[in-house]
Amino acid sequence: MSDAGPVLVVTNLDDPTADVVITELHDRGVPVVRFDSGDFPHALSVAATITSNGVEGTLSTPSRTADLAQVRSLYYRRPSGFAFPHLDKQDARFALTQARYGLGGVLASLPGCLYVNHPHRIGDAEFKPSGLAAAAAVGLRFPPTLITADADVARAFIKQYAPVIYKPLSAPLYRIDGVSCTVEVADVTAEEIGETALGTAHLFQRRIEKTADVRVTVIGDRVFPVRIDSGLLDWRTDYSRLHYSVVTPPPGIAEALHAYLAHFGLVFGAFDFAIDRQGQWWFLECNPSGQWYWLEPETGLPMLAATADLLERKRCR
């Protein structure tokens, strides 16, 4: 890997966080090749050979070409999916799988490349049960949690641990009257659980009687903890009510977060905690592709510089 090699930024067209990171890298004189994997193959081409030295070849956009053997780092953000609208369903399904395992396999196998984060490791870490199991393994405290499709089991858990919240295991977008919506975290009672099976897996968790939330963004070796005061059950539902302050984590938290990331092979993570009335921190989840830049102007924390340092492969300051 050459120090002069490019940073690959894989994301969709509308990604303000990627925009500022790319600007910072450009200001440092670091070459960048940005692309959306969803542009393959009409506006993105790859010619890769697999040799005894690993992956070699080129990846080209309409304006840039990257030597795959010289890529210094890959910043995997939020690319759109592959699409083949000109093909019938069966052919499109075949083409999609070939693109995923072909282009996707090449991008996941670059020699000497630092991944922020590796797409396969992101996939592993997005499973909430896996995240909670990893949190337990590294010593983080988290609320009693149930995953079930059994209504009787769910009602018994709610009665035992009330108050209890429901949260989605993943967050697919719903469209209501053409507007994109997400499934929110919400309180749930035993009476709201029907008499039959729940139909699919659901996650229930004892609600922490919290005084505040914390978003801890870990970027390489650096840890950026921000307290969020809102009075909301889910602070993501109304950003206008959020108040931010830099906070110091309790002893052992930073080390546990690095151990958590190492467990999944990640170098970046956006961790969410709740602080209870006794001041204890309760782990809720980690998003391996979480947003972070909106916190920098609110707090002055140098997260953009830390991200650029990591991608540039510059020693942390």
Q: Can you list the pairs that 89-96 forms with residues at least 24 positions away whose Cβ atoms lie under 8 Å? A: none
CA-wise closest residue to 212 among 279, 122, 147: 279
What does pTM read for this prediction? 0.92
* Encoded tokens for 10: 């894989």
- Is residue 215 domain-shared with residue 185, that is, in the same domain? no
- Cβ distance 182 to 174 under 8 Å? yes
Give the SS3 label for residue 101.
helix
What is the mean predicted confidence (pLDDT) over 80-89?
90
Q: What contacts 297, CB < 8 A, 6 or more positions away?
A: none
Domain boundary among 164, 188, 206: 206
Residue 179 inside a domain? The answer is yes
Token look-up 């393994």 returns: 137
pLDDT tens-digit readout, 8-42: 999 999 999 999 999 999 999 999 999 999 999 99
What is the mean predicted confidence (pLDDT) over 235-249?
93
Residue 135 inside a domain? The answer is no
Residue 134 inside a domain? The answer is no
- Separation between Cα atoms, residue 30 and residue 22, nearest integer Å: 9
What pLDDT was estimated at residue 317?
40
pLDDT tens-digit readout, 300-317: 999 999 999 999 987 444
Q: How confident is the model at residue 176 (pLDDT cuts 50, 70, 90)?
A: confident
- Separation between Cα atoms, residue 11 and residue 22, nearest integer Å: 12
- Is residue 201 domain-shared with residue 242, that is, in the same domain? no
Q: Which helix (H) or strand (E) holds 274?
A: strand 268-276
| Domain around 274 | 123-128+209-312
